[in-house]
Amino acid sequence: MGTHSLLPLAVALLGLLSPCVTRLTPRVSFLMGSPGRHLIRFSSPDVSNTTTLLLRDDGDVLYVGARDAVLELDVSHGDAITLKSKLDWSPSDKDLEQCSMKGKKMADCPNFIRVLQFLNTSHIYACGTFAFSPRCTYINSETLTMSSKPDEGRGRCPYDPYQRNTAIIVDGELYTGTVADYRGNWPVISRHLSEGRRVDLKLDDTLGWLEDPTFISSTFIPDEEKIYFFFSEVGREYDFIDKFIVSRVAQICMSDVGGQRTLQRRWTTFAKAQLLCQADSELPYNVIQDIDSLPPAQGAPADDTLFYGLFISQWSVNSGRSAVCSFRLADIKSVFSGNYKVLNRDTLQWSTRVQEKVANPGECGLHNASDNALRFVKENFLADDSVRPFGRSPTMVSAEHNYSHLRVQRVQAANSRDYTVLFLLTESGYLHKVVLLQSGAHIIEEIKVFEQSQPVKNLVLSIPKAVIYVGTSEGVVRVPTANCSFYWTCAQCVLARDPFCGWDPASRACVKVSDSQISLGQDIDRGNVEEVCNSVSITHRVRFGSNKLPAASCPAGELVSVSLNEVVRLQCPAASQLSQQLWERPNSRLSSDLYLHLGDGSLSFVATPTTLGHYLCLSTENGYQQTMAIYHVKQRSSPMAPTSYTRHHTHALPTTQSVARPGPGLHMSGGVWPNRITTEQGGTEPTLSSGDTQVTTRQLGGNITLWTLKSGQKEDEFWDREPQLLARGPCYLKELVVVSVLLVLCLSLLVTLLLYVFKQRCRRRTVPQARTPTRDSDRRTPVEQEAFRENQFQSKHNGQALQSGQASGLVCNGAFTGSNGHLPNTPI
């Protein structure tokens, strides 16, 4: 059986061995325009394809390469992005006509800016596709004007705007990875803008150093004086029927100037190796999408530099999955210093065999080597071993999201520990913020940044400014990396497990760690609310007691007036997408025969005398419970047709002694907070005051009472005084006492009457009574008549005992008890 026939079987077996991937759910989700996640957008009717971004070192100016233009945006203000200047750079009508004559679509013929790099402190080097005839130019960064006439950009910029490329300028020299021909069949890694004794270099194309690559990124490691390129290509070392895509890392030395005779004006230090993002017994995630470098922590060696790569799989069994793998620089260097594969020139097949090393491929300083050594490195450029992920397994695997771009940042938490935070952009337009923990990846939040999927996007992270910029064809979006003010309580702040945020007990607010000089409450690894928030008066949830509710604990909340036999549905807003909702009643169990728990956490039932009363909605997350809503379902006082109402994200304020504000909803959109009620009917707004704190109660359609802040009142004052205020809410304690007294009087009268009847019957049994014999008694013998009288006496005695037992069962501690052992919920 050959290699070709073994491939499908191997794929099938590995697919069966692949374990189930843990579902990663974002804790909080923000839709576009959500007031809970403030984003700044820039767009202009005459600007499109703003996909190439370049941020100035101070973070105040963002240069954008767009279609037929270069923009200078002022991003120094936190509340707006403004256009400072615009440089138009578009092809002439003649250039567009020639592009069309080549068979290209007119939509692809404009000048798409694909290279934008700082050349020095005063100039920017820019290249564009320019109607499938690449051009490059120098731009004055102060005046945003061209300093010279554009020159040819072949080998520096792609022809096709949809082809990916990479470019980086180091010490005034441009290193690029792109295609150097019109058809896109000649890939090159080259150096340009060399001066003095240094010359421009490119790859030798006689042996196929690159096989149909897709360039992803390039980075400079100062301690190594090397440029590393990351790309994917066809793996010719694998003899498969289908093209097997592999991910690569390649390196070149900055000091390389080419050989004297062999490899003249060609790289002598080029070497490449496979990046293997794969877990044990799983198919590899073999197609790299994006990569970003994470410098080592302060005081750590350069070898601890990590490269976080984003991968997908070409195999259908892993379709729709994305994986993040990290690679350590020390492991990459180890692979490049090892053995290399040998290429058979006759068959063009790669093989692995131990051979004598004439030179060390990838070693810097080979430009002065002998021709024999240069021929050896020319033919042996593929490392034998593969670079495996740090920790020998993927850092994160997602089965639900197709990620396209990635940025990474190291964040110091309140406990002075460092945590790695990933920013992942999905194909559907969401930005995920992920913190990497020992227990696995935790998605803190997801943010909808654009509506439509974009073919070309870019991410730029500004660590000093704590923002991330997303470049799309619709415009530029600025997303703050921290959103601490969204978490209103200590519990929510801790459960977010966001390294950027911590709870400040003095101001009773969730604040940015970098802005605070005091000790903050935070638990990134475990999210233990009880341990962190005990010192700041944590809010404990209210539970109904087993006895009657006293006046002080009579629960206020949302009043729902219903008619009997009406279907009631109570909503339970979730604190997050990771929480679970549950319902409770005082002294009662929610039987599945009467109640239906719906998938969205709501509770549905039919209004009957048994189901009237109070309901408590609880949310549980990571072992912590909090009250989300309290309802009082009551029968209408006057007969009327059932009033239909629609509520979205209904929320009643909890009435604990120390009240937590309502938790965030699952989705925030349209400027409507999830802890508000939307009904189809209006109502009046009487004002209720307590001291100097005022709230407004609004009767919505006669069904729902909603507590809201009065205009101008400080929110913190309301939350601090809310327990005393809500205690004055609707309470029927007086009516309950009157009814209880009446019931006790009725029971006493009934017991007295039963005792009197029993006493009279006992007296009749002791007094002889004359009996009139009947025809039946005349026919009985004396023995039968005596037995008949005895049976009648026992039957009467048993009947009286049964009635007495039933009567005594109606009284329990001086009050009526129902079948479930508590006071019936009789409407007043």
Residue range 298-324, pLDDT digits in tens:
889 999 999 999 999 988 777 778 999
Determine phi and psi for 801, rounding to 5 degrees.
Answer: -65, -40
CB distance 633 to 560 below 8 Å: yes
pLDDT higher than 90, residue 23: no
| CA pair distance 465, 74, nearest whole angstrom | 13
Residue range 218-241, pLDDT digits in tens:
999 998 899 999 999 998 888 777
Closest CA to 501 of 556, 421, 429, 606: 421
pLDDT higher than 50, residue 654: no
Residue range 712-760, pLDDT digits in tens:
444 344 334 333 333 344 556 777 888 888 888 889 889 998 888 888 8
Residue range 252-305, pLDDT digits in tens:
999 999 998 899 999 999 999 999 998 877 889 999 999 999 999 988 999 999
CA–CA distance from 765 to each of 155, 219, 578, 756, 803 (Å)?
123, 111, 74, 15, 18
- CA-CA-CA-CA torsion for 793, 799, 800, 801, nearest 10 degrees? 110
| CA pair distance 387, 325, nearest whole angstrom | 11
Determine phi and psi for 725, rounding to 5 degrees.
Answer: -70, -45
pLDDT higher than 60, residue 342: yes
pLDDT higher than 70, residue 516: yes
What is the pLDDT at residue 179?
Answer: 94
pLDDT higher than 50, residue 132: yes
CB environment 171-203: b (16+ within 10 A), e (fewer): eebbbbbbbbeeeeeebbbbbbbeeeebeebbb
Class of domain 482-536: alpha beta
Provide the residue ranges of all domains of the chain, joining segments of one domain with +. Answer: 3-479, 482-536, 551-731, 733-765+796-828
Determine phi and psi for 707, rounding to 5 degrees.
Answer: -95, 125
- CA-CA-CA-CA torsion for 600, 603, 606, 607, nearest 10 degrees? -140
What is the pLDDT at residue 73?
Answer: 97
Residue 67: CB atoms within 10 A of its CB come to 21
Q: Which residue has the higher pLDDT, 547 or 119?
A: 119
pLDDT higher than 60, residue 489: yes
Residue 326, both tokens:
């990290």
Closest CA to 389 of 275, 292, 531: 275
Share of the chain above pLDDT 70, in %: 74
Strand order in the sheet with 245-253: 214-221, 226-234, 245-253, 271-275
Q: How confident is the model at residue 452 (pLDDT cuts 50, 70, 90)?
A: confident
pLDDT higher than 50, residue 680: no
Residue range 530-549, pLDDT digits in tens:
999 985 444 444 455 433 33
Look up the CATH superfamily of 3-479: YVTN repeat-like/Quinoprotein amine dehydrogenase (2.130.10.10)
551-731 belongs to CATH 1.10.287.3510: no
